Amino acid sequence: MHVRTTASALILIAASSFAPAVVAAQAAEASAEPQQTPSPAQVERNVLRAAYFGDLHVHTSWSTDAYIGGNRVGPSDAYRFARGEAVDLPNGITTQLDVALDFVAITDHAEGFETIAACTDTAHPQYDSVGCRALRNPQATQAGFLRSAFQNASKRPAPRNAQRCADVESCLESERATWRRVQAVAEEFNDPGRFTTLIGYEFSSLLERFGMLHRNVIFRGSDVIPRAISAQDVTGQADFFAQLDAACQEPCEVLTIPHNTNYSWGLTFSRTDEAGNSYSDEDLERRASIEKLVEVTQQKGNSECQVGVGTTDEDCDFGIIFPPCQEGQKGGCARPASFVRHALLEGLLLEEEGRANPFALGMIGSTDTHNSDPGNTGPRFEAARGNATAVRAALDRNHPVVREIRRTNVGGLAGVWAESNTREDIFDALQRREAFATSGSRLRVRFFGGDLPEDMGSRQDALEVAYQRGVPMGGDLESTKSPRFWVWAARDPLAPTLDRVQVVKGWVDNGEQHHRVWDVVCSAGRRPGADGRCEPTPATVDTNTCERRDEAGADELQASFTDPTFDPRHRSFYYVRVLENPSCRWTTILANSARVNLPDDVKAAVQQRGWSSPIWLRP
pLDDT for 92: 87
Distance CA 51, CA 470 (A): 19
Cα separation values, 402 from 319, 393, 408, Å: 12, 16, 8
Half-sphere exposure of 452 (CA within 13 A, CB side): 30
List of long-range contacts for 246-250, beta carbons under 8 Å, 24+ apart: 248/219, 248/224
- pLDDT of 401 over the 70 cut: yes
Q: Are residues 152 and 168 in the same domain?
A: yes
Q: Are residues 498 and 396 in the same domain?
A: no
pLDDT for 29: 28
pLDDT for 32: 34
Burial category of 612 from C-beta neighbours within 10 Å (exposed 0-12, middle 13-18, buried 19 and up): buried
What is the pTM (predicted TM-score) of this model?
Answer: 0.93
Q: Judge whether 162 lies within some domain.
A: yes
Q: Judge whether 36 lies within some domain.
A: no
Q: Are residues 164 and 262 in the same domain?
A: yes
CA proximity to 600, closest of 410, 406, 397? 406
CA proximity to 614, closest of 488, 504, 483, 501? 504
Whole-angstrom distance between the N-terminal and C-terminal Cα of the chain? 42
- pLDDT of 561 over the 90 cut: yes
Domain C-terminal end among 418, 435, 452: 435
Q: Are residues 428 and 449 in the same domain?
A: no
pLDDT-above-70 percentage for the chain: 94
Buried b (16+ CB within 10 A) or exposed e, 57-82: bbbbbbbbbbbbbbbebbbebbbbbb
Q: Judge whether 360 lies within some domain.
A: yes
Q: Are residues 446 and 428 in the same domain?
A: no
Write out 364-408 in H/E/C secondary structure. Answer: EECCCECCCCCCCCCCCCHHHCCCHHHHHHHHHCEECCCEEHHHC
Going by pLDDT thresholds of 50, 70 and 90, the confidence category of residue 259 is very high
DSSP letter at 584 equals: E
Ranges 152-166, 404-418, 591-605: which has the least confidence: 152-166
- pLDDT of 469 over the 70 cut: yes
Q: Are residues 134 and 58 in the same domain?
A: yes
Q: Judge whether 40 lies within some domain.
A: no
pLDDT in tens, 572-584: 999 999 999 999 9
- pLDDT of 257 over the 70 cut: yes
Q: For residues 217 and 37, which has the higher predicted lDDT (pLDDT)?
A: 217
Q: Are residues 452 and 396 in the same domain?
A: no
The angle at the Cα of 404, spanning 400 to 410, to the nearest 5 degrees, equals 105
Q: Are residues 468 and 343 in the same domain?
A: no
- The amino acid occupying position 118 is A
Cα separation values, 131 from 16, 115, 231, 450, Å: 56, 9, 20, 59
DSSP letter at 190 equals: -
Half-sphere exposure of 201 (CA within 13 A, CB side): 27
Domain C-terminal end among 396, 414, 435: 435
Measured over all CA atoms, what is the biggest interatomic distance in the chain, rounded to whole angstroms? 72
Q: Are residues 336 and 369 in the same domain?
A: yes
Distance CA 510, CA 559 (A): 31
Looking at the DSSP bridge assignments, the partners of residue 88 are: 94
pLDDT for 135: 92
Average pLDDT estimate for 249-258: 98
Q: Are residues 184 and 284 in the same domain?
A: yes
- pLDDT of 22 over the 80 cut: no
Q: Are residues 274 and 352 in the same domain?
A: yes
pLDDT for 91: 86
pLDDT for 25: 29
Going by pLDDT thresholds of 50, 70 and 90, the confidence category of residue 166 is confident
pLDDT-above-90 percentage for the chain: 89
- pLDDT of 237 over the 80 cut: yes
Average pLDDT estimate for 563-571: 94
Helix-helix angle 75-82:168-189, to 10 degrees: 30
**Residue 503: phi, psi to the nearest 5?**
-115, 130
- pLDDT of 380 over the 90 cut: no
A 10 A CB-CB count for 14 gives 10
pLDDT in tens, 45-56: 999 999 999 999
Average pLDDT estimate for 454-459: 94
Going by pLDDT thresholds of 50, 70 and 90, the confidence category of residue 73 is very high
Ranges 5-19, 213-227, 249-263: which has the least confidence: 5-19
pLDDT in tens, 478-503: 878 899 999 999 999 999 999 999 99
CA proximity to 190, closest of 97, 74, 88, 106? 106
Looking at the DSSP bridge assignments, the partners of residue 549 are: 540
Mean pLDDT of the chain: 92
Going by pLDDT thresholds of 50, 70 and 90, the confidence category of residue 6 is very low
Write out 302-321 in H/E/C secondary structure. Answer: ECCCCCCCCCCCHHHCCCCC
Average pLDDT estimate for 2-14: 31
Q: Judge whether 89 lies within some domain.
A: yes
Q: Judge whether 253 lies within some domain.
A: yes
Q: Are residues 171 and 291 in the same domain?
A: yes
Q: Judge whether 37 lies within some domain.
A: no
Distance CA 513, CA 342 (A): 9
- pLDDT of 114 over the 90 cut: yes
DSSP letter at 347 equals: H
Q: Judge whether 510 lies within some domain.
A: yes
pLDDT for 36: 63
Distance CA 299, CA 283 (A): 30
Q: For residues 213 and 22, which has the higher predicted lDDT (pLDDT)?
A: 213
**Number of residues in the chain:** 619
Give CA 104 to chain center in angstroms. 11
Domain C-terminal end among 435, 450, 468: 435
Distance CA 264, CA 205 (A): 10
Q: Look up the domain containing 146 and give its range.
A: 3-29+46-373+386-435
